Each structure stands twice: as structure tokens, then as C-alpha cells.
Structure 1
Amino acid sequence: MTDDPHASRPTRFPDEPQQPRPGLTRSMRTKPDHGEASYVGKGLLADKVALITGGDSGIGRAVAIAYAREGADVAISYLVDEQVDAEETRAWVEKAGRQCLLLPGDIRDRDHCAHLVKRTVTELGGLDVLVNNAAAQTMNEGLDSIDDDEMQGAFAANVFAMIRLAKAAAPHMKPGSAIINTTSEQAKVAGKSMIVYAATKGAISSLTVGLSNLLAPDGIRVNAVAPGPIWTPIQPIAKSPEELETLGHDTPVGRAGQPAELAPAYVLLASPEGSYMSGNVVAVTGGVPIS
């Protein structure tokens, strides 16, 4: 594999079929790279416990694999329809010698958010890292095409659930713990066909700063990662085959990113290596500026 960022990963995704929600890695023609063959741990999260929402596939799976190889036990939440992907993530975590707790359900349900934290603490013995990663991506043509129920569902999944999870998790977290939110370049770029999604991601960026200020006295760091166009199951849900084939070509690097390229940022923000980082949004966008 070349070190040239333009050519080190796939640059086209031909003949990729569209998928219904919620989208599955198992159904993708061109499989994403989650670091299965490449991520090497250094013990940065030895004996920690992490809860990752959306941990069945995409960025969440890459983070789960990396955390396990860094020495953490992992709980992952996901929708019931994503069970097949969740089982595969669990297999990779267990192959790394760590426990993986599967927690199916819908984070738009307020009681389920508290349930996720309770199960993680009870069955894995604590909670050191919360990764708020799950998201609903909505697309629009004009304002008239925005469905009100879909809009409310997007905010429930992308924003309200993060607040509820942080509220449930913080009392269990010791100094040195970390919360990591997944926002997006869309928080700043705000494409005209993604205005609801972009609005939720902008809210997450602001929430990250607010939570950092609130929880810093307790020794809990809060940061966010802002991905650009990443090759995950969320892409075949919302985009046409023509759009998918050239995904990421408008970035300076000239291609889409792979989930494995996000995982090191989440490791840094969860580990003592990032001990002086809080209230930040780390861009992993292929060169697209977000400041």
C-alpha cells in the first residue's frame, strides 16, 4: 500500500447498489476497511470499558476494533435490523481477546439510552469512554421535501440521544474518562441537500463544547470527531449509484475516506495521549476545512 493519501485507498465504488434503511455492511458490494488487517494496538486503553453507539458497522466498527486492540472491553448499541453486522463486530472484538456486549435497540427511545449505560456498567464493570457515534442521515431536495417526522427522528437520534447518554454516563465516569461525539464536516459545509442533517451536526459541535465546559471540573474530557465523506453503509442509503461512484472526489485528497482512517482519532481522544484535549472538534475530512 502506498503512503500517497490520494491513492492509498479505493477512489471509486462502481455498481454499488442502493440500500434501504438502516443499511448493512454485509450488503455492500465494495466492503469498507475497518482496520481488520491493519490496526495495531499499543495498550493505550488497557482494561478500560467503552460504550459505542452505532458500533455495528462503519466508523463505529472501526472504533470498536481499535479499542479492543488497545485493551478495552466494548459495548456496542445498534438497531435490531443491524444484528448481522453487530455479530461480525463482536467477532473482531473477541478475536482481540476482549469482551463485546451487544445492545440492540433504538437510541431515539429515552429509556433505552439509560438502559445502555446501565447494562454496560453492570456487565462490563464500569464505563470509561462513551462514543456517541450513531446517526440518522436525512436528505432533501427543496424545503417542501423535508418530512416533519423524519426531521424530528433525526434530531432525536443525532442530538437528544447524545444528551441523554451523557447524562446517564457521567455519574459513572471517573477523572480521566472521555466522551467522544461524532459530528460532521456538514456542521460547517452544510450542503443544500442535507440541511436537517447538517443542523443536527452543528448542534453536536456546540454540545461538545458545552459538555466539555460542564464536565471538565469532574476530570471528564469531551471532544468530537468531524468526518468527511466516509465509505460506510450510510452512503448507499441516501445517494444514487452515480453519486456513490465518485464519492469524495470533490475533497482535496480526491477520494472518500475509510472507517479505519477515523479510528486513530477516536483512540487519541479516549486515551491519556489526549489528556490536554477537551472541547475540540477534530476534522478527518480529506482536507476540507471546517474552521
Structure 2
Amino acid sequence: HTLCESCVELLFLKGSGSCPECGVALRRSNFRVQLFEDSNVDKEVQIRKRILKDFNKKEDDFATVDEYNDYLEMIEEIVFNLCNNIDIINTNKRIEQFKRDNREVILKNKTKLSKDELELEQIVEVEKEQFEQRRKELAIIEVENRKQKTKNKEELIDSLMASYEDASAIVDKFAQKTAEKVQPLLPKPAAPTAQVPKHTHFSSGIATGFQGQHGFMAVPKPEEGPLYVYEKQEFTTDGPTPPNLEDVINSGYIRHIRTESVAEKTGGFQTNLSCLRAIQEALAGLYHG
């Protein structure tokens, strides 16, 4: 059950106590911060983490797929019973029996990295190498750019000292010459590294994704059309040209019209726009026919 921090400090002052709602004996050190708005979801996540620490068998530990599926069904049944307080005593006995029967397998799987963890380590290592290579390339480029700027500055100073032309003209010519001469130094694209096959797994160990393939299908790129170009709208009123909003405000059109209230202004209503629309409607269609 959910308790605020002040209640926890008050009720569990001695380090242990009973839940005020269900009376279960609890320790203060076992309280945790609620991560989800629904406390039932938070409870299920914590129970599932605790169960999967011991129920850590992989698909390779079973002779057939049916046995592995039965094992996954058993995990979900245990989690469901603990989350909904169904047959708690027998469920805990079932967990302890599983621990005793599979002690060696549990210890071996705790010390052995799974395929997913190995793939993750490979991905992290590749990303580290790419990042380090990119950092070295950028450092070299920065040094080269700094040298080039110093060289350009010295050449400009020499040109200003040796020539009798106007200084601004020399600077303009030098800037144009430098822009044509100097090309931006960009790092060469790194060679594509071998993609590590990725698979998505649920917390209970169910593998999903494209089994048997070495990766996921590429995301299709949408076809890009021409860029949008704004074109000003033209209105045909079949009547005299109505005034614009500035004329409505400055020419006295709204002199005898009540101003909008605070509530109307808050809702977005403006007297100026309403007056302008009324004038446009009055002048529209006068030349028709």
C-alpha cells in the first residue's frame, strides 16, 4: 500500500512496523519510491524483477520449445498470483521448490552473460571506437583550421604592408581569394561496421522481432515533394474595395461601437475585426449584375 514519506518516518521510526491498512509486518529499508501512477503496476514490476532473478533460465536450457513455453507460462502464473494475492502460501512454496531443484542452473546463469548482454557489449564497444575515432578526426581538423587561419592572417598583413591600394579593396580581394582557395575540411565517413543482430526480449525472456534474420528492415524514406512557396491570397468582392484593419481603427469606424468586455477579449473576440468583417459583407456584391 502507498504511504507518504512523512507517514513512513512516523510509523516505522524503529526500523520496522505493520502496514496500517493490511497489518503486514514491514521493514523501513524495504520501502521504495513509487515510479508509476498506478500502484498495482509498480507492484507488478517489483515482483517481476524479484522473480526473474531466480527464474533466469534461457531457451537454450530446454530440450524443446514446448518445455520453454511451459516455463514461461509458469512464470506468468506465479507473477499473477503474487500480484493479486491468490494462493500466496502455495505459490511461495512453488518458488522455493524451483530454487532447490535448479540451484546449479540458477547460479550458472547468474554468472554467465546472455546473448543479449553480449550483443549489447559489442554494440557499446563499437560505438566507443566510433566516438574515439570521430574525436581524433575533429581534433586534427581543428588544428589544421587554426593553422590555415594563422597563415591567411599573415598573408593579409603582408599584402597590406606591401601594397599601396585601398585597404578595404585589398581585404575584399583577399577574402574572395581565400573563399575560393580554402575548402572546409570535413572528416571522411567512417567505414561501415558490422551490424550486431538485435532482438527484442520481454522481461520473461520471450524473444520477438525477425527471428532468423540478421537485422531489422530499413525504415522506408518518405518521398519528398517540392518545397512550399507562399502565395498571397486574392479576393474578388464584386464591389468597392473595403478598408483594411488600420483604416477601420484610425478612420472612426469603431467610434460608436462598444468595446469588448474582459471575458470577450479573453476568448479572442476583437471589436476591430468584427467591424471590418461587417464592412466587407456590406460592400461585397454591390457591383454584381
Give the TM-score normalised by structure 1.
0.19
Q: Which structure shows the higher helix fraction? A: 2
Give the TM-score normalised by structure 2.
0.19
Q: Which structure is larger by alpha-carbon Rg, 1 or 2? A: 2
Q: Which structure shows the higher strand fraction? A: 1
